[in-house]
Amino acid sequence: MAAASGRPRGRSVDWSRSAGAGPAGTRDAPMSEPPADTATVPLRFPAVLAEAAASLDVISGGRVDLGLGAGGSWDAIAAVGGPRRSPREAVAALAEAVEVVRASWSGERGVRAGGATYALSGVSTGPVPGRRIEIWLGALGPRMLDLTGWSADGWLPSSAYVPPADLAGRNARIDAAAVAAGRDPADVRRLYDVSGSITDGASSGFLHGPADQWVEELTDLVLTEGVDTFVPWARGDVDRQLHRWAEEVVPAVRQEVARTRRPG
């Protein structure tokens, strides 16, 4: 069972299904993935990011998926030499980045892809990943949600920014965008970056309470919102929290989901 460590300070590049952790979540047995977050595209060349992801996927035996974000903390991005972009420019650049990343994994020669901000102009691509790497977007606003429905393999919001009550509306927007693009909305995975603490006392809010509360709340998100993967960010004693997550929460949620979905 793999689980995430506490959220580090500052920026970091985290890889889901990374080389040191085994896969855990599936649509049929949803629970968690290893550490996952979104790479801020304005701080990285998409083609180089694609090469790194493909290389790690090959090294790890097919255990990498890639989260991408358009950026948002523009003062911090500019402070390290990155560009400032308007919301519209940021989404357009991310759309090009997704195209460039996927084209970079083709292994073909003379590849052209992208647009005005990010592009491949007749390059030989590679390395080729060991399997199809999924691209997940950390989307919040309407344009980003539309882009997720049009072109992404998954949506990875955080409970800190998108509380459970807001999931349904954003999921509906993604579904509509997918249909408009001729896609099946079910092809867009719904992941959820969840932060909280497992305690032995009374509940003090969403995912702040005993393991039974976590089981109930996460099971409800699977059954009502279609979340198929949870990415845990522990608070407090990280090691203790993650042991409790793996031992008390994960098996119980899987069992409860399976019981509820069982015919008859």
Residue 26 counted as domain residue: no
The gap from C-alpha 97 to its chain's centroid, in whole angstroms, comes to 16
Q: What is the pLDDT of residues 18-65, one digit of tens each?
A: 333 333 333 444 454 444 568 999 999 999 999 999 999 999 999 899
How far, in Å, are 11, 63, 69, 94, 251 from residue 150 at the CA level? 28, 24, 15, 12, 34
Sequence-distant (≥ 6) Cβ neighbours of residue 45 within 8 angstroms: 118
d(CA 196, CA 188): 25
Residue 260 counted as domain residue: no
Sequence-distant (≥ 6) Cβ neighbours of residue 176 within 8 angstroms: 149
Region 239-250: mean pLDDT is 95
Q: Is the pLDDT of residue 231 over 60?
A: yes
Q: Which of 143, 164, 157 is nearest to 189 (CA)?
A: 157
Residue 71 counted as domain residue: yes
What pLDDT does 264 receive? 59
Dihedral through CA 106, CA 107, CA 111, CA 117, nearest 10?
A: 60
What pLDDT does 235 receive? 85
Residue 182 counted as domain residue: no
| DSSP state string for 132-166 | ---EEE---SHHHHHHHHHH-SEE--BTTTS-HHH
Number of neighbours of residue 28 by Cβ within 10 angstroms? 10
Residue 242 counted as domain residue: no
Q: What is the pLDDT of residues 99-130, one digit of tens each?
A: 999 999 999 999 999 999 999 999 999 999 99
Residue 153 counted as domain residue: no
Instruction: Tokens for 175, please give them.
Output: 């579904």
Q: What is the pLDDT of residues 136-185, one digit of tens each?
A: 999 999 999 999 999 999 999 999 999 999 999 999 999 999 999 999 99
Q: Which domain holds residue 102?
A: 39-137
Residue 108 counted as domain residue: yes
Residue 119 counted as domain residue: yes
d(CA 215, CA 243): 15
**Which carries the bigger pLDDT value, residue 16 or residue 241?**
241
| DSSP state string for 99-129 | HHHHHHTS--SSEEEE-SSSEEEEEPP-PPP
What pairs with residue 113 in β-bridges? 120
d(CA 98, CA 104): 10
- How many structural domains does the chain have? 1
pTM: 0.85
Region 4-17: mean pLDDT is 37
